[in-house]
């Protein structure tokens, strides 16, 4: 394959973004290579997304697995440099804000290979978040910056990035969400969990600042247990969260609560079906804030900030913080019938806009 466009994915949040772009590259006949770093490698965190979204198997799989931030980033950089030296790509496309994003962007920049960053310009302004570090640094070395909102574009301009590099294309993850909504009819997850006809909420937690800290996680679980007295809750648990629940001795209490159903991570179609039928979501995920905004499902974000403020100003999202009382206050103030609107260009056609720009690049 001569000078392909390399598209990089590494972790669960990436797969919903690379899928539509990869499909559009193939549809337009552009030579491309899909690289999976293996940052997420568990079947429920990786392969099931390829299956659910109809993404072809990656052309190259690194299998880096879990490790510290520095070691994981370094391992990806070493392998990706070798791959680039061999295939001499004309463009590297990275998405999101995980370690794979930053590792491949830096490697490409040092090899003088143009970099395109999909989901550029998002800012929480909290540099204690590993994702924020990844976002800021990736944007600094990227040649083409594709943004999900006008606010993200404005962030980049304020940081001194040439406006000619910035392209507002909408949210490519909504392309995958639209696909999932149209293809989730065969999912039986709601009946499998005996949720038919029941008002239920969903919980997801995975951020180290939440699940690796005993006091923080304990307070969150106290709030969750109190909310479960009023509403049935479903808790698809990230492997990291499962480990913390077990090591801190919290799992037994959750298992004993008949109103909380804890599950393994779900496939994308099952998860979208579950969210779309829920009456509220509690999460520390960035992507789920966007999905609930699109679906019109009230969302309580268990963080002190968000890099997706449009989900608050235009969507259904409330930033609750992480203390027990702030979470309970947010729940008590939740408006299950709030007004909301889909943000501009969140229309399921972002991949087409991205690839059209890529196709017309003068390499």
The catalytic residue positions are 206
* DSSP category for residue 333: T
- Which helix (DSSP H) or strand (DSSP E) does residue 116 occupy? strand 115-120
CA distances from 147 to 98, 200, 325 (A): 16, 33, 35
Distance from C-alpha of 244 to C-alpha of 248, rounded to nearest angstrom: 6
Distance from C-alpha of 192 to C-alpha of 231, rounded to nearest angstrom: 18
Which string of DSSP letters, residue by residue, matches 37-80?
--SS-SGGGTHHHHHHTTPPPPSEE----S--HHHHHHHHHHHH
Distance from C-alpha of 149 to C-alpha of 270, rounded to nearest angstrom: 28
Sign of the Cα pseudo-torsion (296, 302, 306, 309, in order):
positive
């Amino acid at each position: 394959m001569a000078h392909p466009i390399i598209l990089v994915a590494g972790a669960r949040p990436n797969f919903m973004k690379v899928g539509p772009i990869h499909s559009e590259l193939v549809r337009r006949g552009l030579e491309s290579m899909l690289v999976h770093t293996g940052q997420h490698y568990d079947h429920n965190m990786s392969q099931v997304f390829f299956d659910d979204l109809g993404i072809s198997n990656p052309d190259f799989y690194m299998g880096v697995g879990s490790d510290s931030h520095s070691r994981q980033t370094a391992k990806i950089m070493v392998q990706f440099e070798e791959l680039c030296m061999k295939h001499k790509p004309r463009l590297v496309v990275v998405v999101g804000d995980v370690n794979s994003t930053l590792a491949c962007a830096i490697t490409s920049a040092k090899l003088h290979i143009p970099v395109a960053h999909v989901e550029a310009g998002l800012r929480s302004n909290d540099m204690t978040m590993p994702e924020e570090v990844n976002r800021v640094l990736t944007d600094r070395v990227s040649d083409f910056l594709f943004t999900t909102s006008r606010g993200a574009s404005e962030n980049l301009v304020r940081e001194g990035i040439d406006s000619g590099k910035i392209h507002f294309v909408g949210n490519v993850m909504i392309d995958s969400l639209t696909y999932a909504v149209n293809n989730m009819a065969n999912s039986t997850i709601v009946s499998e969990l005996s949720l038919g006809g029941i008002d239920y909420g969903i919980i997801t937690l995975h951020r180290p600042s939440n699940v690796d800290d005993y006091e923080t996680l304990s307070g969150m679980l106290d709030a969750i247990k109190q909310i479960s007295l009023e509403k049935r809750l479903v808790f698809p648990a990230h492997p990291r969260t499962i480990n913390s629940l077990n090591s801190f001795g919290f799992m037994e209490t959750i298992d004993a609560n008949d109103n909380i159903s804890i599950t393994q991570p779900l496939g994308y179609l099952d998860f979208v079906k579950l969210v779309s039928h829920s009456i509220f979501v509690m999460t520390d995920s960035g992507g789920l804030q966007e999905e609930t905004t699109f679906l019109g499902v009230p969302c309580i974000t268990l963080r002190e900030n968000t890099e997706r403020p449009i989900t608050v100003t235009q969507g259904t999202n409330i930033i609750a913080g992480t203390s027990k009382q702030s979470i309970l206050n947010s729940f008590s103030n939740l408006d299950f019938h709030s007004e909301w609107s889909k943000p501009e260009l969140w229309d399921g056609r972002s991949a087409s806009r991205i690839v059209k720009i890529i196709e017309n690049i003068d390499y």
